[in-house]
């Protein structure tokens, strides 16, 4: 077994604290990664506190992982020792079903997607996976990503969740020049949606109820700002958008935003509230509008996203922290007091 150090929660009420544990041995198709940086995602907090149910304790969170490869299995030929590499939300799947073969491993039809943490590894030893708040990780090489050397490695990690979550639907719907995209909510997902949509050539409007976010939206590249608390502005933007990327994860009025779409416009949810959506059918029927949602992307699409970000010099706005600050960082995420993602310097675990 491979010895590891990380930060874990022992139960739903406890803080994250230092823990030593073991990872499975390197298999023929695996790589061992020395983790340099790990991003904090809001879903880490949900799972640490068992807010979605099904959390296995102890839990080592983290599915935004960047590091260097320190060992490769005997059958691995796409990576070598010393390569910069990334691991996102999943580390294995069956590889044989229709979805896995079409780069949709996150929807494995055999229900064998192995998530990077808090997941039973049915493809290997049936242990529960531990994530990136740690000094190393073992992963199937087919689920490991090449990190372009041109990107600032200190900032890359959030691309592996926030980046792909927003890139995937924009790419799937062929967003580009001539489209007007509204981005609802300026946070970890929203700020990436602005940057990526602008790079794709779209006209982008940040949609927010907080006028104080207008300056940040402009700095991120948004062309316009819609204050939803201003009735006149709402009227002005009726039937304006080809697409709305909805990053809000608390209950909100979908019918209001559907009214801002053009005929055949598309409202794409990437932030999903826990409460059921309340939709008036006429909000969709009037104009043949589409209400849809999107999860993360497959492995090849995630690699495409990293290459796209390297080509357009797109990186998230981040705050770098030591691992012993992680519990304070969690509270600041809950307080919306970060612009816009935390990244943990995993070298700090040696302190």
What is the tens place of the pLDDT at every residue in 254-302? 999 999 999 999 999 999 888 899 999 999 999 999 999 999 999 999 9
Give the model confidence (pLDDT) of 338-347 as tens digits: 999 999 999 9
By CB atoms closer than 10 A (0-12, 13-18, 19+), residue 128 is middle
Q: Which residue has the tokens 């690699």?
A: 303
Q: What is the pLDDT along the chain (351 residues), one digit of tens a residue?
A: 999 999 999 999 999 999 999 999 999 999 999 999 999 999 999 999 999 999 999 999 999 999 999 999 999 999 999 999 999 999 999 999 999 999 999 999 999 999 999 999 999 999 999 999 999 999 999 999 999 999 999 999 999 999 999 999 999 999 999 999 999 999 999 999 999 999 999 999 999 999 999 999 999 999 999 999 999 999 999 999 999 999 999 999 999 999 999 999 999 999 988 889 999 999 999 999 999 999 999 999 999 999 999 999 999 999 999 999 999 999 999 999 999 999 999 999 998
Contacts of 308 (CB under 8 A, 6+ apart): 167, 196, 199, 314
Kind plus residue range of the DSSP H or E element containing 18: strand 17-23
Smallest CA-to-CA distance from 238 within 256, 224, 254 is with 256
Q: How far apart are CA 195 and CA 62, in angstroms?
A: 24
Output the pLDDT for position 274.
80
Q: Which residue has the tokens 């059918």?
A: 281
Smallest CA-to-CA distance from 154 within 34, 6, 38 is with 38
Domains of the chain: 2-160+316-350 (3.90.180.10), 162-293 (3.40.50.720)
Q: How far apart are CA 70 and CA 274, in angstroms?
A: 40
Q: What is the pTM (predicted TM-score) of this model?
A: 0.96
What radius of gyration, in Å, describes the C-alpha atoms of the chain? 20
Smallest CA-to-CA distance from 89 within 126, 68, 109, 117 is with 117
C-alpha dist (Å) from residue 183 to 198, 225, 239, 243, 322: 11, 10, 15, 9, 31
Q: Which residue has the tokens 């489209």?
A: 179
Output the pLDDT for position 256.
97
**Structure tokens belonging to residue 92:** 């294995």
Output the pLDDT for position 272.
83
Which residues, in sequence order, are bridge partners of residue 38? 65, 344
CA angle centred on 71, ends 67 and 72, rounded to 5°: 110
Q: How far apart are CA 164 and CA 185, in angstroms?
A: 17
Kind plus residue range of the DSSP H or E element containing 328: helix 326-334
Output the pLDDT for position 114.
98
**Helix, strand, coil content of the chain in percent (nearest 5):** 30, 30, 45
CA angle centred on 200, ends 105 and 222, rounded to 5°: 115
Output the pLDDT for position 273.
86
* Contact predicate 310/196, CB 8 Å: no
Output the pLDDT for position 283.
95
Four-point Cα dihedral 78, 22, 5, 91, nearest 10: 40
Smallest CA-to-CA distance from 166 within 180, 144, 181 is with 181
C-alpha dist (Å) from residue 344 to 34, 37, 38, 41: 14, 6, 5, 11
């Amino acid at each position: 077994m491979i010895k590891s150090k990380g930060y874990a929660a022992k139960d739903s009420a406890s803080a994250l604290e230092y823990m030593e544990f073991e990872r499975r041995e390197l298999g023929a198709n695996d790589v061992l990664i020395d983790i340099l940086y790990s991003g904090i995602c809001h879903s880490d907090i949900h799972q640490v506190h068992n807010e979605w149910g099904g959390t296995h304790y102890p839990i080592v969170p983290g599915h935004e992982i960047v590091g260097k490869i320190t060992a490769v299995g005997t059958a691995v030929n796409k990576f070598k020792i010393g390569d910069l590499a990334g691991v996102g939300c999943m580390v294995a799947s069956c590889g044989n079903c229709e979805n896995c073969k079409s780069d949709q491993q996150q929807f494995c039809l055999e229900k064998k997607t192995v998530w990077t943490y808090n997941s039973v590894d049915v493809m290997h030893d049936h242990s529960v996976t531990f994530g990136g708040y740690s000094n190393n990780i073992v992963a199937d090489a087919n689920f490991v990503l090449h990190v372009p050397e041109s990107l600032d490695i200190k900032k890359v990690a959030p691309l592996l969740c926030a980046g792909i979550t927003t890139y995937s639907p924009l790419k799937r719907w062929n967003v580009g020049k001539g489209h007007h995209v509204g981005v609802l909510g300026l946070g970890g997902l929203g700020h990436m949606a602005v940057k990526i949509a602008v790079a794709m050539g779209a006209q982008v409007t940040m949609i927010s109820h907080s006028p104080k976010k207008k300056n940040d939206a402009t700095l991120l590249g948004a062309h316009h700002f819609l204050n939803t608390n201003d009735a006149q502005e709402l009227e002005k933007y009726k039937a304006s958008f080809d697409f709305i990327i909805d990053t809000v994860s608390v209950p909100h009025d979908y019918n209001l935003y559907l009214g801002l779409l053009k005929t055949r416009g598309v409202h794409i949810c990437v932030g999903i509230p826990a409460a059921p959506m309340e939709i008036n059918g006429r909000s969709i029927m009037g104009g043949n509008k589409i209400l849809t949602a999107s999860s993360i992307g497959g492995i090849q699409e995630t690699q495409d996203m990293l290459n796209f970000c390297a080509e357009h010099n797109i990186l998230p706005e981040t705050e770098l922290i030591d691992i012993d600050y992680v519990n304070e960082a969690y509270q600041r995420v809950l307080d919306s007091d970060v612009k816009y993602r935390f990244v943990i310097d995993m070298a700090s675990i040696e302190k």
